[in-house]
């Protein structure tokens, strides 16, 4: 049997817990930790679940609680679990996602893949983007619509790639394109490489391959050298989208398509305003729940009329995927 200890915490406390910490390394076997938000957009309302191969004694539970100052007065919840893989248990609530022609699944929820879909295997992992959130599924649907409209792209970049899901979808839709995928978090880049191998997508710099790099926004030689792009995808957060507007404008070719997502409906006006000021035209807006996906087109006369002040960087910290 296996055991689970659940405690409330803050987001900062959850992110400070790592399996490599010395206090965890002394335990044999080393327990696994899963952190999750309890209330969306509330960093004070998180929880951790610590999984053990055998029942932890009170001193171990007290040690964990001591590392969570906000849980000092909380009563730990100790639960006995069936003898199953905790990763599978943590993913039982996930369902496969169908978005456009794509079918996104994990090992635990694959089920029967519909015959008319493209299957992509993405495990719930250390990076954002398993397809289950409306902002990601909305992007997949929009990419599918662009393809059905006959859009053709030769140079594509996915800025803030997370697990690589949107880059994989674009690679399937436009298999002869040169595709770049980047993220501010090196863990996400590693996860994307793992997922690419898992799904049979090639990594590299040639047509039909995905070139990976770790970058803050567009601040990387690989991203700059491959510009101008004719399709940019940025499924990040509203703040970084606004902050990166001049930089994204700088690397997108005239007449190019920009897809942005990761913003709430209440944030859309501010994002649209930031890009309109730079000469972009909002071509389409698709809402999936409270999460819009926006398609902009860069005006062909843009560039020589307006100076750009862009350093390519964002202040978004690595590992901050929002509250998906």
pLDDT recorded at residue 118: 87
pLDDT recorded at residue 200: 95
pLDDT recorded at residue 96: 76
pLDDT recorded at residue 105: 83
User: What DSSP string runs through 223-283?
Assistant: HHHHPSEEEEEEES-HHHHHHTHHHHHHHEEEEEEEEEES--GGGHHHHHHHHHTTTEEEE
First to last CA, the chain: 31
pLDDT recorded at residue 20: 47
Q: What residues in the chain have per-residue pLDDT under 50?
A: 1, 19-20, 85-93, 126-127, 130, 132, 302-307, 321-324
pLDDT recorded at residue 316: 63
Q: How far is it between the farthest Cα atoms of the chain?
A: 69
The yes or no reply on domain 2-90 and CATH 1.10.10 is no
pLDDT recorded at residue 228: 96
Residue 151: Cβ within 10 Å count = 14
Residue 145: Cβ within 10 Å count = 15
Contact 259, 114 (CB under 8 A): no
Q: Which residues are annotated as a binding site?
A: 136, 160, 183, 235
Q: Which residues are annotated as a binding site for S-adenosyl-L-methionine?
A: 136, 160, 183, 235
Taking CA atoms, 255 is separated from 59, 296, 299, in Å, by 63, 10, 6
Contact 44, 10 (CB under 8 A): yes
Nearest in space to 194 (alpha carbons), one of 132, 100, 126: 126
What kind of fold does domain 134-298 have according to CATH?
Answer: Rossmann fold (3.40.50)
Taking only the tens place, the pLDDT of each residue in 86-125 is 444 444 445 778 888 898 887 777 778 888 888 898 876 5
pLDDT recorded at residue 322: 39
pLDDT recorded at residue 73: 93
- Each domain of the chain, given as residue ranges in start order, spans 2-90, 134-298
pLDDT recorded at residue 265: 86
pLDDT recorded at residue 270: 93
pLDDT recorded at residue 307: 46
Taking only the tens place, the pLDDT of each residue in 34-89 is 777 787 667 888 898 888 878 888 988 998 999 899 999 999 999 887 655 444 44
Nearest in space to 49 (alpha carbons), one of 15, 16, 78, 20: 78
| Placement of tokens 């609680």 in the chain | 65
């Amino acid at each position: 049997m296996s055991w689970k200890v659940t405690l409330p915490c803050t987001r900062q406390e959850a992110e400070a817990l790592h399996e490599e910490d010395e206090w965890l390394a002394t335990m044999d076997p080393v327990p696994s930790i899963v952190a999750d938000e309890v209330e969306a957009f509330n960093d004070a309302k998180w929880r951790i679940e610590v999984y053990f191969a055998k029942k932890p004694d009170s001193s171990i539970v007290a040690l964990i609680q001591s590392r969570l100052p906000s849980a000092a007065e909380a009563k730990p919840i100790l639960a006995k679990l069936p003898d199953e893989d905790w990763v599978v248990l943590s993913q039982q609530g996930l369902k496969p996602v169908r978005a456009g022609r794509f079918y996104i699944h994990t090992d635990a929820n694959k089920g029967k893949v519909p015959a008319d879909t493209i299957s992509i295997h993405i495990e719930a992992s250390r990076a954002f983007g398993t397809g289950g959130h409306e902002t990601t599924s909305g992007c997949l649907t929009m990419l599918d619509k662009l393809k059905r409209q006959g859009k053709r792209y030769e140079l594509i970049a996915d800025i803030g790639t997370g697990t690589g899901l949107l880059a994989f979808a674009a690679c399937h839709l436009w298999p002869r394109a040169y595709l770049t995928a980047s993220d501010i978090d090196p863990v996400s880049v590693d996860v994307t490489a793992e997922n690419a191998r898992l799904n049979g997508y090639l990594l590299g710099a040639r047509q039909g391959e995905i070139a990976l790099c770790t970058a803050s926004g567009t601040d990387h030689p690989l991203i700059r050298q491959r510009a101008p792009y004719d399709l940019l995808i940025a499924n990040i957060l509203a703040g970084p989208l606004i902050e990166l507007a001049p930089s994204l404008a700088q690397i997108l070719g005239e007449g190019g398509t920009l897809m942005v997502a990761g913003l709430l409906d209440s944030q859309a006006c501010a994002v649209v305003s930031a890009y309109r000021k730079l000469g972009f035209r909002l071509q389409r807006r698709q809402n999936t729940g409270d999460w819009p996906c926006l398609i902009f087109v860069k005006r062909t006369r843009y560039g020589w009329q307006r100076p750009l002040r862009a350093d390519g960087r964002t202040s978004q910290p690595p590992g901050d995927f929002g509250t998906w």
